[in-house]
Chains A and B, each alone.
Chain A
Amino acid sequence: QVQLVESGGGLVKPGGSLRLSCAASGFTFSDYYMSWIRQAPGKGLEWVSYISSSGSTIYYADSVKGRFTISRDNAKNSLYLQMNSLRAEDTAVYYCARVWQQRYFDYWGQGTLVTVSS
C-alpha cells in the first residue's frame, strides 16, 4: 500500500534551517509528481512546493520562494524540503503528498511539525 513518511521536523530558532524528508513506498516513486503542503496550528492548508517526477520542474509558493528548496532522489524513493531563513510564520505541520492527475493530492503522509521560535 502507498505510504509516505515524513521526518526531520523540530524546534528551530528564527533564521535557522531545517531539512525535511519524506520516504515513499508502495508505488513507483519516479512516476509521480510530489508536493509539500503545510498547516499552521489551528489553521487551513497551504500548498508550499511542487516537483515533477524527474525533478526538472519545480514551483514554490510566494511565501517560501527563495528560502525553501524542494528536491527528490528517485533512487532512494525520497522527497526533501530544505528550509532556510525560517520565520515564526513557517511554524506548521508539513505534509508530503503525491500529486495525482496533475491536479489533486491522493496520498498524504502523517506530517512532521516544524516550530520556529526563540
Chain B
Amino acid sequence: EIVLTQSPATLSLSPGERATLSCRASQSVSSYLAWYQQKPGQAPRLLIYDASNRATGIPARFSGSGSGTDFTLTISSLEPEDFAVYYCQQRSNWPLWTFGQGTKVEIK
C-alpha cells in the first residue's frame, strides 16, 4: 500500500504570502498525483492532476511540481479564499486510491 504523508499539518500564513505544501509517497507514484482543496462544509475540489497540470478553472497562482515520491503544491500569493485544507491523492494498484492526511492553510 502506498502511503502519502503531507507536511506540515498546519501552515499559518497571511494573505499575499507564498504557501508551499509537501506530499511524500512511500514508493514511487510516477507523476500520477493530484491535489484537492476542501473548504469547511464543502466537497473537495480538484486543483492539480498529473502532479503539475491545473484542472479546469483553477487560477494560475496554484502550481504543482514533483515526480516519483516527492511533490509540492505552491500557492504563489494567498488570496482570502485559499485558506482551506489541501489533500494529495494517488492511484496505485491496491488500494486503488489513497489520500494524504491533509494540510490546513490557516490565516496567521
Listed in ascending order, the chain A residues whose CB lies under 8 Å from chain B are: 35, 37, 44-47, 50, 59, 61-62, 95, 100-106, 108-111
Contact = CB atoms under 8 A, between A and B. Distances in A.
A95 B97 contact: no
B42 to A, nearest CB: 8
Nearest to B94: A59
Contact of B100 (A44, A61, A103): A44
Nearest to A35: B97
Interface residues of B, number: 21
Contact of A46 (B44, B55, B99): B99
B59 interface: no
Given A44-B87, A62-B95, A103 B32 contact: yes
A44 B99 contact: yes
Contact of B49 (A37, A46, A103): A103
B91 interface: yes
A110 B100 contact: no
A37 B36 CA distance: 13
B73 interface: no
A106 B55 contact: yes
Given A95-B43, A109-B43, A111-B43, A104 B99 contact: no
B91 A44 contact: no
Given A101-B49, A103-B32, A110 B97 contact: no
Given A44-B101, A45-B44, A100-B46, 9 more contacts: A35-B97, A102-B91, A103-B32, A103-B91, A105-B34, A105-B36, A105-B44, A106-B55, A110-B42
